[in-house]
């Protein structure tokens, strides 16, 4: 690949050099010129530049205004041309049914391809998903260059086992609160924590007046969001389990959030439903409807205190590692339920990790 010098990059790009077009897109993007960058990415992709196809596909799927059909087409084309990133994204899209028919077996084929192309996350996923301990050990020990290892790992994935959900237990009928003990294995919990750890940032709240996100003393924990394009198949299997146990489709799920609480950090008492009487929530309600349910997966238990507190019903919950709980934010008539007032209390020792999944009334791009 020839290095395109800064002084003549635009000239080369304008003359039709796909590599220069892609590089110019990168530079414009770094300078905050998103629309101009996308135009050059598209020109490079139309010229057959594989990485441009992959980047364009991802941007169209990850950032508004979303263009699912076009983003999926570019991603599929890049994956067909050998892009590891695009093959991994296609695995995610097929697993969710976003822009393509949903199919776990086909998603795993794309995941295998991403691993064969050298995608580091895809390789770790395939190893983690496999039900064959010997194969997992071989792959983890450095057998990545074996021509059949990724196919063998893919064929050893037990899809039914990954979708299986333990029986739920209803704790309260009003508000509806359900506990699922042993919802996820320790390995799943550890995977999600390590995926989230480098992405953590100060958590924010919705401003009730203008709908903007902002930091507030009422919420001092940190979190990390995973939109569909940034997800992986392990997280998507978890979301499929959530859909099965709540009876609500994955299409209504917002971006999954992994939340982290250090000693003293708290999410003070609040509601998860969107109050239709507050102006800050009007646009969100129009786009995705009401937030029907909240699902929480407790991903560690080596801390003290930090329960989820429901003061209006006099109940606190502290799950063991892998336990889960969900509650309906609305009552039987679909109205916001004030009994769901709750808080994430602060740890007095250790750190608390949990996955939070909000589920809306209408399909979105979570």
Per-residue pLDDT tens over the stretch 87-133: 999 999 999 999 999 999 999 999 999 999 999 999 999 999 999 99
For 361, the token pair is 């009334």
Please report the pLDDT score of residue 76 as a whole number: 98
CA distance 339 to 309: 12
For 300, the token pair is 């560690």
Best CA proximity match to 203, nearest among 189, 218, 191, 193: 218
Q: Are 13 and 24 in contact (CB under 8 A)?
A: yes
Please report the pLDDT score of residue 364 as a whole number: 62
Residue 11 region by backbone torsions, left for phi larger than 0, else alpha for psi between -120 and 50, else beta: alpha
The rounded radius of gyration (Å) of the Cα atoms in the chain is: 22
Whole-model pTM? Answer: 0.95
Best CA proximity match to 236, nearest among 180, 285, 195: 195
Each residue of 131-161: pLDDT tens digit?
Answer: 999 999 999 887 666 779 999 999 999 999 9
Give the architecture (CATH level 2) of 169-360. Sandwich (2.60)
Residue 288 dihedral angles phi and psi, to the nearest 5°: -125, 0
Residue 306 region by backbone torsions, left for phi larger than 0, else alpha for psi between -120 and 50, else beta: left
DSSP string, 30-92: HTT-HHHHHHHHHHHHHTT-HHHHHHHHHHHHHSSSP-HHHHHHHHHHHHHTT-HHHHHHHHH
Q: Which residues of the chain carry a pLDDT beneath 50? A: 1
3-state class (DSSP) for residue 317? strand
Please report the pLDDT score of residue 1 as a whole number: 45
Please report the pLDDT score of residue 207 as a whole number: 83
Please report the pLDDT score of residue 3 as a whole number: 52
For 72, the token pair is 């999926």
């Amino acid at each position: 690949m020839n290095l395109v010098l800064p002084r003549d990059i635009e000239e080369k790009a304008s003359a039709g050099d796909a590599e220069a077009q892609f590089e110019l897109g990168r530079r414009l993007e770094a300078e905050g010129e998103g629309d101009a960058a996308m135009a050059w990415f598209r020109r490079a992709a139309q010229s057959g530049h594989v990485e441009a196809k992959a980047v364009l596909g991802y941007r169209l799927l990850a950032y508004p205004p979303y263009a699912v059909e076009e983003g999926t087409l570019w991603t599929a084309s890049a994956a067909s041309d050998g892009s590891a990133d695009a093959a991994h994204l296609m695995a995610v899209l097929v697993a969710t049914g976003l822009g393509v028919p949903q199919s776990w077996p086909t998603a795993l084929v794309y995941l295998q391809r991403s691993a064969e192309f050298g995608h580091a996350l895809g390789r770790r996923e395939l190893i983690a998903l496999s039900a064959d301990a010997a194969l997992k050990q071989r792959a983890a020990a450095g057998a990545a260059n074996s021509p059949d290892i990724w196919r063998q790992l893919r064929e050893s994935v037990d899809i039914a086992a990954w979708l299986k959900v333990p029986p739920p237990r209803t704790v309260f009928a009003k508000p509806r609160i359900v506990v699922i003990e042993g919802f996820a294995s320790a390995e799943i919990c550890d995977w999600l924590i390590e995926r989230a750890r480098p992405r953590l940032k100060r958590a924010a709240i919705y401003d009730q007046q203008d709908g903007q996100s902002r930091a507030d003393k009422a919420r001092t924990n940190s979190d990390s969001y995973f939109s569909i394009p940034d997800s992986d198949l392990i997280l998507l299997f978890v979301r499929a389990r959530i859909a099965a146990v709540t009876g609500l489709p994955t299409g209504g799920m917002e971006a999954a959030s992994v939340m982290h609480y250090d000693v003293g950090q708290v999410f003070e008492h609040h509601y998860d439903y969107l109050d239709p009487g507050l102006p800050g929530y009007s646009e969100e309600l129009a786009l995705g409807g009401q937030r029907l349910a909240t699902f929480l997966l407790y991903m560690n238990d080596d801390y003290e205190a930090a329960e989820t507190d429901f003061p209006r019903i006099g109940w606190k919950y502290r799950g063991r590692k892998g336990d889960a709980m969900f509650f309906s934010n609305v009552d039987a008539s679909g109205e916001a339920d004030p009994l769901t007032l709750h808080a994430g209390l602060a740890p007095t020792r250790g750190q608390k990790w949990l996955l939070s999944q909000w589920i809306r009334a209408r399909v979105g791009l979570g």
